[in-house]
């Protein structure tokens, strides 16, 4: 039996990039830089990263500089809101980048799932990632294992930081320390030691809103009036929403108290929060700061809100058009009394006192009043 002969046929193209092995072509390289907060002390770190990777890539004769993609003040626990990161991945998948250079695995992503899925997509499209601090190349056979370990450690670090921050916030709440989003919270400014100080100009607007509601106005009509007057909303927008008014009318801070931890973070990775319905402790601080609305007036408003809600639950709409609106009901059939208007679209308009209306006419009348 003759001896078996095996002939080796050498590879002619690179496994991941499909480029010819013997063809020399500069690798198109991009850098990625990110800092997790926009604090002033971190700006130097951000600018230093951009400058470093620009010079580092350009110093290599075998690399062609493409760009340095950046995200400033963006968290690494999710890639969803990282515009620079997503643009870089998009360009890489489009075949514009051969290699991405970044500082470390934690700079790339602290979310293990995001990190691995992104690296695998890039690898399939022929784009390699180099993590300088850990000296990991994703085309290396051990690369994915090392990245999994490092990403898991980075994710665990994020979880630990999140728990420490949450503990700090809850300790402040237990101590009765209050904080509000001052830029979109009417009536108060931040005083010394983080205390709430009444902003008298804004406080007048708060008092006006409460007064209009007590006088019979609805959140919708109050929002419409404020928008028409050109008064900006708490968020600085020209148009007020009904929810703006409702939230203000129910906010206990205007009576000088504070209910803390109304919402809580469900998942540190997604940053998703939900209304606290008893899952975590709440803290009620009485006389926490100067009141804008007298407690007795605030309680009156809460009672009126509850009364109007009860009317809404009976499928009848509250109206602030008159003192008898939604207040007089027929004892026989349950229909509401309302005003009758003749020639409502002409100068001969005549309105009578409230009288009993049939159900179909009752609805039309209430719609006119609203």
CA distances from 289 to 18, 180, 184, 191, 253 (A): 68, 12, 18, 11, 8
Query: Which residue has 């109206």 as its token pair?
Result: 319
Predicted local confidence at residue 57, as pLDDT: 94
Position 365 scores a pLDDT of 43
Whether the Cβ atoms of residue 49 and residue 172 lie closer than 8 Å to each other: no
Q: Look at residue 353 in the predicted model and tell me its pLDDT.
A: 45
Q: What's the CA gap between 200 and 184, in Å, rounded?
A: 16
Residue spans of alpha helices (H) in the chain: 40-58, 83-93, 105-108, 112-124, 143-174, 200-214, 219-228, 242-250, 295-313, 359-369
Token pair of 210 as six digits: 């409460």
SS3 assignment, position 53: helix
Is the pTM higher than 0.85? The answer reads no
Q: What integer pLDDT is reported at residue 335 of this predicted model?
A: 60
Q: Which pLDDT score, from 0 to 100, does residue 348 have? A: 47
Count other Cβ atoms within 10 Å, centred on residue 226: 21
Identify the pLDDT of residue 297. Answer: 94
What pLDDT is attached to residue 361?
47
Order of strands across the sheet with 136-137? 63-72, 27-35, 99-102, 128-131, 136-137
Task: Find, among 47, 121, 114, 37, the residue nearest to 80 by Cα.
Answer: 114
**Structural domains in the chain, sorted by start:** 27-158 (3.40.50.1390), 182-301 (3.90.1750.20), 319-369 (no CATH)
Tens digit of pLDDT at every position of the chain (370 positions): 678 888 787 776 665 555 666 666 789 999 998 876 544 455 557 788 888 999 999 999 999 999 999 887 655 456 667 888 999 999 999 999 999 999 888 777 767 777 788 888 998 899 999 999 888 898 887 877 777 787 777 777 777 777 777 777 777 777 777 878 888 899 999 888 778 899 999 999 999 999 999 988 999 999 999 999 999 998 889 999 999 999 999 999 999 998 888 887 877 666 777 888 888 888 888 888 999 999 999 999 999 999 888 876 555 555 555 555 556 667 666 665 555 554 455 554 444 444 554 444 444 443 444 3
Q: What is the pLDDT of residue 37?
A: 55
The span from the CA of 54 to the CA of 68, in Å, is 7
Q: How far is the C-alpha of 32 from the C-alpha of 101, rounded, in Å?
A: 6
């Amino acid at each position: 039996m003759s001896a078996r002969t095996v002939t080796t046929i050498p590879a002619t193209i690179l496994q991941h990039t499909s480029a010819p092995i013997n063809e020399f072509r500069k690798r198109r390289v991009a850098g990625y830089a990110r800092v997790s907060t926009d604090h002033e002390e971190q700006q130097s770190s951000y600018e230093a990263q951009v400058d470093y990777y620009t010079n580092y890539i350009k110093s290599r004769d075998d690399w062609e500089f493409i760009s340095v993609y950046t995200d400033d003040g963006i968290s690494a626990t999710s890639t969803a809101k990282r515009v620079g990161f997503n643009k870089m991945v998009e360009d890489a998948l489009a075949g514009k980048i051969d290699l991405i250079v970044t500082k470390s695995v934690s700079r790339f992503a602290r979310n293990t799932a995001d990190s691995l899925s992104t690296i695998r997509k890039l690898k399939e499209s022929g784009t390699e990632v180099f993590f300088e601090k850990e000296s990991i190349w994703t085309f290396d056979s051990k690369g994915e294992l090392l990245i999994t370990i490092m990403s898991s450690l980075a994710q665990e670090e994020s979880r630990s930081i999140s728990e420490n921050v949450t503990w700090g916030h809850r300790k402040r709440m237990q101590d009765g320390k209050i904080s509000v989003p001052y830029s979109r919270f009417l009536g108060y400014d931040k005083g010394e030691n983080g205390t709430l100080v009444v902003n008298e100009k804004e406080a007048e607007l708060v008092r006006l809103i409460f007064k209009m509601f007590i006088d019979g106005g609805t959140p919708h009509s109050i929002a419409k009036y404020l928008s028409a007057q050109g008064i900006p909303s708490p968020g600085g927008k020209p148009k007020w929403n009904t929810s703006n008014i409702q939230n203000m009318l129910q906010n206990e801070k205007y009576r000088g108290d504070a209910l803390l931890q109304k919402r809580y973070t469900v998942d540190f990775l997604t940053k998703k929060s939900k209304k606290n319905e008893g899952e975590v402790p709440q803290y009620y601080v009485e006389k926490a700061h100067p009141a804008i609305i007298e407690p007795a007036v605030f309680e009156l408003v809460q009672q009126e809100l509850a009364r109007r809600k009860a009317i809404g639950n009976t499928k009848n709409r509250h109206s602030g058009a008159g003192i008898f609106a939604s207040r007089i009901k027929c004892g026989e059939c349950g229909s509401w009394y309302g005003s009758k208007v003749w020639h409502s679209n002409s100068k001969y308009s005549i309105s009578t006192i409230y009288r009993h209306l049939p159900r179909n006419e009752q609805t039309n009348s209430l719609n006119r009043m609203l």
